[in-house]
Amino acid sequence: MANLPHKMPGKALFVYSMCLLSLIPIIKAAPTFRSIDCNSTVPTDQALCSGVTTDVCRDCLDYAKRDAVVRCPGSKPFSIVYDECTVRNSTVSAPTIEGVDPTFSWINCPNITLTTTGTYAPNSTYEKNLASLLSVLSSNSNASNGFYNHTVGTSTPDGVYGLFLCRGDLTVSACRDCVTYASTDVVQQCPRAKQVMIWYDECILRYSNDSIFAVQETREWVILVNPQNVTDETRYSEVLGEVMNNIAARALSGDSRKKFATGEANFTSTQLVYGLAQCMPDLSNFDCDSCLRNSISKFLYRYRGCRVYFPNCFVRGELYPFYNLGVGGAPPPSPSPVLPPPPPSTNSTRWPGKTFFCKAWIWDIILKF
Ligand SMILES: *[C@@H]1O[C@H](CO)[C@@H](O)[C@H](O)[C@H]1NC(C)=O
Ligand SMILES: *[C@@H]1O[C@H](CO)[C@@H](O)[C@H](O)[C@H]1NC(C)=O
Ligand SMILES: *[C@@H]1O[C@H](CO)[C@@H](O)[C@H](O)[C@H]1NC(C)=O
Ligand SMILES: *[C@@H]1O[C@H](CO)[C@@H](O)[C@H](O)[C@H]1NC(C)=O
Ligand SMILES: *[C@@H]1O[C@H](CO)[C@@H](O)[C@H](O)[C@H]1NC(C)=O
Ligand SMILES: *[C@@H]1O[C@H](CO)[C@@H](O)[C@H](O)[C@H]1NC(C)=O
Ligand SMILES: *[C@@H]1O[C@H](CO)[C@@H](O)[C@H](O)[C@H]1NC(C)=O
Ligand SMILES: *[C@@H]1O[C@H](CO)[C@@H](O)[C@H](O)[C@H]1NC(C)=O
Ligand SMILES: *[C@@H]1O[C@H](CO)[C@@H](O)[C@H](O)[C@H]1NC(C)=O
Ligand SMILES: *[C@@H]1O[C@H](CO)[C@@H](O)[C@H](O)[C@H]1NC(C)=O
C-alpha cells in the first residue's frame, strides 16, 4: 500500500479500493484447457457453457477466442474445449434444407467412461424399458400440444421416465418429425447412458432413471451462443431484455397444455429482435416463473444469438426469425399480469465499463510517480 498516491482524499481512496476489488476478477485463472481440434468439421459456429455462472462463461468465451488464434495459427476452423466452455468456429456452413432432419443443438450426455452407475448394460432390463419408452414417445409424437410424458417399469433400478417437448410454434407434423428422429438419434449419440437430455432447434427429448416430471431443477443449465458480437450491446440488451420479460410473463400464463410465447421488437429501423420463452407445461406457474427468471438472468446479450437451456424451460433470442411468426403462444395476460422484475443484474455492459474505469485509475496512479 506504500505505492498509493499521497494525500488521497477519502472518497478517492474508496473509489480506488473499489477499483482494486473490481480488478480481482481480471487477474483470474485461465479456463482449464481440455482439447483442441484445429480442423473442425462441426458445421456450426457455436459456443457453449454448461453449469457455470454467466461471468465465468463470458470470460471463458473471450479467452477461447484469443487462445484459439495461438493454438490454431492460420485461422483454420477450430473447436476448442475447456472445462468451463466449448467454442467452435467453422467455415463449413450448417445444412439449411428444411423438412429433413431437425437441427441438432446440444446433448447432455454423461461421459460413460467416468461413470459406471450412470450406465446400463447391453441386453439389460433398463435397455429394454428404454427402447419401449422411446417407441411410446415416438408414437405419441402427434400429441396436439407438443408434449408427452411416459414411464416404463416401476421398480427402482429399471424404471425409465421420459418426455418430449416441441417448440410451441411447430405444427403437429413438424413436431412428430423431430421426436421420431430424436428417439433413434439420442441412443446413437449417447449409448448406454441412463440419463440423457438432447436438444434440437425443434424439440427436446429427455429420459432418466429418476422421476423427472414436474420436478424443478436449477443445478444444470447450458448456454449456447452465436459468438459474433452485436453492434450495439446496450440497445440490444434493453430491447431484447424487455421482450424477454414480456414473453416470460406470457409463457407462464399458459395452461397445463402449453407454456410458450414469442415476441419481437425494433432493434434498429430495419432490424427486429426475436425472443422465445417456453416451459415444460407440467411445471407449476411458480416453477415456470422461477425457471424462466433463472434463464433470463444467464442470458448473454453481448452476442448475436443466445439460448439458455434448463431441464424444464428455455429462452432464446436472435436477430432473425427462428420460429414461425404469428404463432405467438399465450395471449398477453389479462388485468394484473404477474410481471417478473427486470432480469437480475446480468449487466453485461458492466465489464468493459469497469475495466476502462480502472485503466483510467491505473494511469492516474502511474502518472503521479
Ligand atoms: C482437414 O480435414 C479435411 C477433411 O477431413 C482434410 O481433407 C484436410 O486435409 C484436413 N486438413 C488438415 C490441415 O489436417
Ligand atoms: C470465426 O469465423 C468467422 C467466419 O466464419 C470469422 O469472421 C471470425 O473472426 C472467427 N472467429 C474467431 C475467433 O476466429
Ligand atoms: C471421457 O473421459 C475420459 C477419461 O477422462 C477421456 O479420456 C475422454 O476423452 C472423455 N470423453 C469425452 C467424450 O469427453
Ligand atoms: C439413477 O442413477 C444414478 C446414477 O447415475 C443413481 O445415483 C441414482 O440412485 C439412480 N436412481 C434410481 C432411482 O435408481
Ligand atoms: C444381447 O442379445 C443378443 C440377442 O438376444 C445377443 O446376440 C448378444 O450377444 C447379447 N449381448 C450381450 C452383451 O449379452
Ligand atoms: C396419433 O397417431 C396414432 C397412430 O400413429 C393414432 O392412433 C392416434 O389417434 C393419433 N393421435 C392423435 C392425437 O392424432
Ligand atoms: C406424467 O407426468 C405427471 C406429472 O406431471 C405424472 O403425474 C404422470 O404420472 C406422468 N405420466 C406418466 C405416464 O408417467
Ligand atoms: C466482442 O466484444 C468483446 C468485449 O466487448 C471484445 O473484447 C471482442 O474483441 C469483441 N469481438 C469481436 C470479434 O469483435
Ligand atoms: C417497428 O417499427 C415500425 C415503425 O417504425 C412499426 O410499424 C412496427 O410495428 C414496429 N415493430 C415492432 C415489433 O414493434
Ligand atoms: C448496466 O450498467 C449501466 C452502467 O452502470 C447502467 O446505466 C444500466 O442501467 C445497467 N443496466 C442494467 C440492466 O442493470
- Burial bucket for residue 151 (CB in 10 Å: 0-12, 13-18, 19+): middle
For residues 30-47, average pLDDT: 77
Q: Lowest-confidence range among 88-92, 205-209, 307-311?
A: 88-92
pLDDT at 95 over 50: no
pLDDT at 157 over 50: yes
Q: What percentage of the chain has pLDDT greater than the value 70?
A: 75
Most confident of 18-27, 332-341, 352-361: 18-27
- The DSSP H or E segment spanning 134 is helix 125-139
With vertex at residue 90, the alpha carbon angle to CA 274 and CA 193, rounded to the nearest 5 degrees, is 80
pLDDT at 99 over 70: no
Determine the CATH number of domain 222-318. Answer: 3.30.430.20
Parse the chain into domains and list their residue ranges.
104-208, 222-318
For residues 59-64, average pLDDT: 87
What are the residues whose beta carbons fall under 8 Å from the beta carbon of 277, sequence distance 6 or more?
Answer: 244, 247, 248, 250, 251, 260, 261, 262, 292, 295, 313, 314, 315
Q: Which residue has the higher pLDDT, 23 or 273?
A: 273
Give domain 104-208's CATH superfamily.
Answer: Gnk2 domain, C-X8-C-X2-C motif (3.30.430.20)
- Burial bucket for residue 369 (CB in 10 Å: 0-12, 13-18, 19+): exposed
Say how many Å lie between the CA of residue 274 and the centre of ligand 9: 13
Same fold, 104-208 and 222-318: yes
Which pLDDT does position 154 carry in this prediction?
A: 79
String of DSSP letters for 42-105: ----EEEEESS-HHHHHHHHHHHHHHHHHHSTTT--EEEEESSEEEEE-SSPPP--TTSS--EE
Say how many Å lie between the CA of residue 213 and the centre of ligand 7: 6
DSSP three-state, residue 2: coil
Which pLDDT does position 247 carry in this prediction?
A: 95
Tell me if 353 CB under 6 Å of ligand 8.
no
From the CA of 153, which ligand is nearest?
A: 7
For residue 295 the three cell numbers come to 434463464
- Could you tell me which of 198, 108, 214, 208 has the C-alpha nearest to residue 161? 208
For residues 263-288, average pLDDT: 94
pLDDT at 227 over 50: yes
Which pLDDT does position 37 carry in this prediction?
A: 86
d(Cα 59, Cα 358) in Å, to the nearest integer? 18
Contact assessment for residue 294 and residue 200, using Cβ atoms and an 8 Å cutoff: no
- The DSSP H or E segment spanning 249 is helix 233-252
From the CA of 90, which ligand is nearest?
A: 2
The residue whose CB lies within 8 Å of the most ligand 5 atoms, and thus the one to mutate among 120, 123, 126, is 123
- Amino acid identity of 280? M
- Expressed in angstroms, the distance from the first to the final Cα of the chain is 14
Most confident of 8-22, 105-119, 162-176: 162-176
Say how many Å lie between the CA of residue 176 and the centre of ligand 6: 11
**Cβ atoms within 10 Å, residue 32:** 10
For residues 34-47, average pLDDT: 73
Contact assessment for residue 248 and residue 337, using Cβ atoms and an 8 Å cutoff: no
Which pLDDT does position 75 carry in this prediction?
A: 66
> Would you state the torsion angle of the CA atoms of residues 50, 51, 56, 57, taken in this order, to the nearest 10 degrees?
30
Long-range CB contact pairs, 15-20, < 8 A, 24+: 15/361, 16/361, 19/357, 19/358, 19/361
Q: Lowest-confidence range among 24-38, 67-81, 100-114, 344-358?
A: 344-358
* Average pLDDT of the residues of the chain: 78
Q: Which residue has the higher pLDDT, 233 or 228?
A: 233
Which pLDDT does position 359 carry in this prediction?
A: 32
What are the residues whose beta carbons fall under 8 Å from the beta carbon of 180, sequence distance 6 or more?
Answer: 138, 141
Which pLDDT does position 328 carry in this prediction?
A: 62
Which pLDDT does position 350 carry in this prediction?
A: 26
